[in-house]
Amino acid sequence: MVKGSKQTPALATSRDLAPDGARERKSAGAVEVPVAALRGRPAAPDVSVGELAAADVMGLYVHFPFCGVHCPYCDFAVDARADIPHDAYADAICAELTVRAPWFRQQREGGHLREPASPRLVSIYFGGGTPGLWRSEALARVIAAARTALCDPTAAGATLEITVEANPGEVDAEKLRALRAAGVNRLSLGVQSFDDRLLRALGRNHSAAAGPRAVAMARDAGFENISVDLMFALPEQSQDDWRQALDELVALGPQHVSAYALTIERGTPFGALARKGELVVPDQEQAAIMQELARDVLAQAGLVQYEVSSYAAPGRRAVHNSLYWTGAPYLGVGASAASFRPLADGGGWRFSNPRATATYFRASRLGGGSPTPAQVERRTSSDLENEAVWLALRTSDGLDRRAHARRFGFDPVEPRRPDVDACVARGWITVDSNAIRPTASGLLFADEIATRLWR
């Protein structure tokens, strides 16, 4: 991160969502591993080495890359096709889980777990792509494999958040009941808009009516924790359009909302249109007004902003995303999925699988279930300390100074004193003896704050 960058609002964008490899923040320390290396001996560093840092909890991310269509704005790791290899993909995921789960357990000494104990699995997140398309039996097989590989059998009954992303128009009542029966207890619906005109402009393959219908069906199927994704700053979207969308969203009564601005990514059809001047979207100032409107309207409905793009009813914050923001370990399996192994020396390994599905399958076979990572980063303690400040200041809870000092050995404020004072003077953060917290307007400038506080 470079100090002194232009001040722009840190809008919630599609890149802020749960990380598959495509969404992960790329650092200067990244080691790119050529795909050709997959054919010979693995060339990547051994990310399984090093003692795991003490941690209470961990998460599992399962990437399902397949989609019914490839939306023209999307640069995620997506494989749009009709002939989804449901079982072959589940087989690959289960094999990967078996090999990699031990990397996230504390070492055994004489058959006994060394203190501290291994982290407890608290979340399984199926992201994509569109994991709602996965045949339910195959998805259930992955959940069972994850429980076997990562759950402590003596902790049976412990709460485990299991989320599946799905699209309206691609789920029906039977499918939703099957997901619920498989143990899925949280559904994340990619509604995106309640306006047929805007959905068409986005290239989505569902109608405006499909969103509310999917929410109602999910509720009937027994889902009590439903998250709805909604996008703003869309082509030809007015402030009135956005206000109406928020009202329709509130009427649905979801427990959680992710509201984020459309980002125009290079290499996508939208990126090409924008370059030619054929795609006009609301400017940053208009988008910031939309984000503030979302904050206010959703707060009135009891959905409180707790992160730049995330809003929740009481007790319904996303367990999974909170793991990413607090530096907890997570295992990511499947094409493009990223993992993080924090180490006892204060640093950690971050690595991600090959992005293309065919490459992932091939690498998985060559690696006996564990594909050679396509990207590996050895993060130092200093890297992770900066990341901890950056991520915490994207959340309304902010950064707990004592917990930070326990983890890194020093208080986060003192080494940054002039920059902290400058952010306080701008009204972006507040500081007391317990925490640094972003203000409401500070959440709009989260990236700028992070840039200033990066050491």
Query: Hey, which residues between 180 and 199 contact ligand SF4 (CB under 6 A)?
Result: 190
Which residue, 77 or 413, is less far from ligand SF4 as judged by CB? 77
Among 103, 117, 119, which residue's Cα sits nearest to residue 51? Answer: 103
CB of 74 to ligand SF4, least distance (A): 3
CB of 417 to ligand SF4, least distance (A): 42
CB of 286 to ligand SF4, least distance (A): 22
Task: Choose, by CB under 6 A, the member of 106, 136, 163, 167 that binds ligand SF4.
Answer: 167
CB of 439 to ligand SF4, least distance (A): 32
What string marks each residue from 49 to 88 as x (binds ligand SF4 by CB under 6 A) or -? ------------------x--xx--x-x-x----------
Site for ligand SF4 contains 321 (CB under 6 A): no
Which residue, 354 or 438, is less far from ligand SF4 as judged by CB? 354
Structure tokens belonging to residue 243: 């206000």
Query: Hey, which residues between 112 and 141 contact ligand SF4 (CB under 6 A)?
Result: 128-130
CB of 42 to ligand SF4, least distance (A): 29
CB of 269 to ligand SF4, least distance (A): 11
Residues that bind ligand SF4 in the complex, under the rule CB under 6 A = 67, 70-71, 74, 76, 78, 128-130, 167, 190
